[in-house]
């Protein structure tokens, strides 16, 4: 009996095609320790799925602990899939202690690691572009985070309540940092930005825009007891000095025209603020900029401007205003 080789080969191709087509976008599978979800069949791509979903695949008794490494590729039914993203709530609240994110990952999605209180080591892969809102929110054990040059977008509150974070490095590619990223970072002592970044900059561990016209964040645990805001600064961002623990003397540069809400909130150790601003009435002061500041703090103002400060709302909240 003759066997037609061409027919056999065609049959094998059709069987393989049928098998691959049987996989659908949205299908989940487990490989090694992790669950994945198919996001594309052409090209073949997956994201790291929620590890705590109560689906037939999920099992809280298998909840991840310890160290994890997110690979660049996984094989499912003899097909190679590229791991492109970490899904929403993927590792939320799990007892993982370290994570290494593979270089194939592009997106770390919202709340991917929220509440991972034992996570003390994070290595972000060199292809990540987007870190979405609250991705690492309340990861209270991590001490150092390095944002690689590939990252362009840091969403809102990504690192909020990382209360043990000491230092943050921001790579050259970041063009957007959302609000509330420094909330409750009580031990943060330095923020350093790549010199090649065209949107942000740092000086003495303080975060600015590239031209240093906006001061975004003064780390709460910066060790200096005195600080002079550069004269290039026109805007002091809201909450930028909130709860600073060591600073006793602060000099506000002469070119400041806007101070954001709660900018100096709970600066309990401030003894002196020296303002170089000649006319305080030209400065836009948002709500409660000096709220719960040290009540004994003395405001020192340029000679000849005492009455203007005493008659200016918010500036006149100081009990002692002196000319220098």
> Cβ distance 232 to 213 under 8 Å?
yes
Q: How far apart are CA 192 and CA 172, in angstroms?
A: 11
Per the structure block, which two tokens stand in for 111?
A: 């709340």
What pLDDT does residue 23 have?
A: 85
Q: What strands lie across the sheet with 249-252, from one edge to the other?
A: 226-228, 249-252, 272-275, 298-301, 320-323
- The domain tally of the chain equals 1
Would residue 37 count as lying in a domain?
no
Decide if pLDDT at 176 tops 90: yes
Mean pLDDT for all residues in the chain: 92
| Residue 218 included in any domain | no
**In the predicted model, is pLDDT for residue 57 greater than 70?**
no
pLDDT over 70 at 16, yes or no: no
Structure confidence at residue 14 (pLDDT):
42
In a domain, 58, yes or no: no
Is residue 62 over pLDDT 90?
A: no
The verdict on residue 308 lying in a domain is yes
Are residues 87 and 37 in contact, defined by beta-carbon separation less than 8 angstroms?
Answer: yes
Residue 196, pLDDT > 60, answer: yes
- The answer to whether residue 5 scores a pLDDT higher than 90 is no
Q: Is residue 9, in this structure, part of any structural domain at all?
A: no
Of 300, 246, 237, 236, nearest in space to 270 by CA:
246
**Distance, CA of 247 to CA of 146 (rounded, Å):** 26
Residue 63 pLDDT class (50, 70, 90 cuts): low
User: Which CATH number belongs to the domain containing residue 250 in this structure?
Assistant: 3.80.10.10
Question: Are the C-beta atoms of 268 and 293 separated by less than 8 Å?
Answer: yes
Band the pLDDT of 247: cuts 50, 70, 90. Answer: very high
User: Torsion-angle region of residue 140: left (phi > 0), alpha (psi -120 to 50) or beta?
Assistant: alpha
Give me the domain span that covers residue 277: 224-324
The percentage of the chain sitting over the pLDDT mark of 70, rounded to a whole number, equals 90
In a domain, 55, yes or no: no
pLDDT of residue 206: 98
**Which whole number is the average pLDDT over 82-95?**
97
Question: What's the token pair of residue 132?
Answer: 């979405």
Residue 229 CB neighbours (<10 A): 21
157 belongs to a structural domain: no
More confident residue, 54 or 312: 312
Q: Look at the alpha carbons of 241, 247, 249, 254 in this order and tell me if their dihedral is positive or negative.
A: negative
Would you state the torsion angle of the CA atoms of residues 311, 312, 316, 317, taken in this order, to the nearest 10 degrees?
A: 140
pLDDT above 70: residue 323: yes
Mean pLDDT across 124-131: 98
Residue 150 has pLDDT above 70, yes or no: yes
Residue 139 has pLDDT above 60, yes or no: yes
Inside any domain, residue 309: yes
């Amino acid at each position: 009996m003759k066997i037609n080789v061409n027919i056999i080969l065609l049959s094998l191709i059709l069987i393989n095609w049928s098998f691959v087509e049987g996989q659908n976008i949205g299908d989940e599978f487990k490989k090694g320790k992790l669950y994945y979800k198919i996001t594309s069949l052409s090209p073949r791509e997956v994201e790291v799925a929620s590890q705590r979903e109560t689906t037939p695949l999920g099992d809280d008794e298998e909840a991840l602990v310890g160290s994890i490494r997110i690979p660049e590729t996984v094989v499912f039914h003899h097909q190679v899939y590229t791991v492109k993203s970490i899904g929403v709530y993927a590792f939320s609240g799990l007892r993982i202690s370290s994570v290494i994110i593979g270089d194939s990952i592009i997106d770390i999605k919202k709340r991917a690691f929220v509440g991972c209180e034992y996570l003390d080591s994070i290595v972000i892969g060199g292809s990540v572009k987007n870190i979405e809102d609250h991705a690492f929110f309340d990861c209270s054990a991590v001490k150092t985070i390095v944002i690689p040059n590939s990252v362009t977008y840091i969403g809102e509150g990504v690192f909020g309540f990382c209360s043990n974070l000491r230092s943050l490095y921001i790579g050259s590619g970041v063009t957007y940092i959302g609000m509330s990223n420094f909330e409750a970072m009580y031990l943060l002592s330095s923020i350093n930005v790549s010199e090649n970044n065209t949107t942000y900059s740092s000086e003495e561990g303080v975060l600015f825009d590239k031209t240093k016209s906006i001061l975004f964040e003064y780390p709460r645990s910066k060790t200096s007891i005195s600080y002079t805001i550069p004269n290039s600064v026109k805007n002091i961002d809201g909450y930028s000095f909130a709860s600073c623990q060591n600073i006793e003397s602060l000099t506000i540069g002469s070119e400041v025209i806007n101070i954001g809400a709660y900018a100096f909130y709970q600066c309990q150790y401030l003894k002196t603020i020296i303002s170089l601003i000649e006319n305080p009435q030209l400065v836009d002061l948002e709500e409660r900029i000096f709220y719960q500041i040290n009540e004994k703090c003395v405001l020192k103002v340029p000679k000849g401007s005492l009455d203007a400060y005493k008659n200016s709302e918010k500036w006149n909240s100081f009990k002692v205003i002196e000319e220098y």
